[in-house]
Structure 1
Amino acid sequence: MVQTENGKRLSGLIWEVADLLRGDYKQADYGKVILPFTVLRRLDCVLAPTKASVMSFYAGKVKPMALKNPEPLLNQKAGVSFHNISQFTFADLARDANNVAANLRNYINGFSAAGREIIEYFNFNDHISRLDEANLLFLIVKAFAGFDLSPEKVSQMEMGYVFEELIRKFSELSNETAGEHFTPREVIRLMVNLLFQDDGEILTQPGIVRTIYDPACGTGGMLSVAEKYIKGSAYK
């Protein structure tokens, strides 16, 4: 699997955090903790530039309106398809060891439905309690708070490499085949090239808008490679 140096470095640093779980978790279960924390930190970094404005907008305008579905307005303010209205960020969580479990749950509950759905997929609430009881939760939160996973520092492509490398390592620990969980980038690039090879005209028309849909999306590798291909075609 081809990786960027940045992606390889980050996956290595995140992998080191898993050592904190030694003795309290089976190696095969490390991914149940590390992967959702990686997702949370990435989401936190994506939302960081607009966090203050979203919070102000929510408190001053959206909340008083008592809208049945305020999510579209808040997503628009955040500039992405999700938002978080919790008062906490990862930096805040890493400053309060005594209340880290309650604050982390508050933070997760502050996400819009799309964000919460991702975290709930990992059955993460059970692991919060388990980590807190083992005095590991704050250590892991603090470690992840030190990773800069912002889009400016880590591209979508690199983030995909990070997830794939972590999944590969966790799969090895659980005696699974990593290929069961993601498709190698070399194969993805071949598939994308074959998919779009006859679509040059419809992808390069001025003002055209195209939507990509992957019904079997995992780490998003297919989507990020397809996006890169389409944008590259549009500017040729």
Structure 2
Amino acid sequence: MNNPFSKTSLVRDIVNELPKSSDVFKKYRIDFCCGGNIPLNEAASERAVNIDELMAQLEEIYVAGENAKEDIEVWTNSKSDVIIEHIKKHYHRTLEEELASLSPYVTKIAKVHGERHPELIQVHALFYELKKELLEHTAKEEATVFPMLLKLDEPNVENREEIIQHIIELEKEHDHAGAILKELREITSDFEPPLDACGTYRLVFSRLEGLEGHTFMHVHLENNILFPRYLEA
């Protein structure tokens, strides 16, 4: 799997290609916004960062993104317990990390640019509504619904209808999250930042679009692969 960047790639171009790389740059205090027009190796040298370690972390982000694209084919014929562990590790944990990392950026652009771009106030409100919804949803799945779901694989389950109702409720919550994401896309003009947008502004829009794609894959894996096994039984 070939990376779309190298040690001589510009920092800003890497962030454009891999929005989550901004967290790595932030950790090392590498300026990816106003000072991002320099090669990666030069930026690393200025901050006394080991370039090989930096490349390895960027590689990990890239590979994680590429692997997510293959989920549908890989998991269609997998056992339910395997799919559930995959969802928890690759979607729930990743989602928690991304929501936590993205939150301060969303707040920052709303405060700094909200007066000239009032749609950012709406973005802020919708993002935090989505964050609350998704975190409560995933916590409920792990604590209650997933363990109950696996019981349906056992014979003579007495509360089958109750478990089915939980699945239906989860699907309704998926629909609500999808509606929020749709509204976010609409008010951001398909996550297209204005001409005067700064680097952080552009970063937020790019990562919101990535969050949308990640959530859609997550929901697809549950709604179209995992849940139908039980709803159609």
**TM-score by structure 1 length?**
0.31
Report 1 or 2 for greater relative contact order, CA contacts < 8 Å, sequence distance ≥ 6: 1
When you count helix as a share of all residues, which structure comes out higher?
2
TM-score by length of 2: 0.31
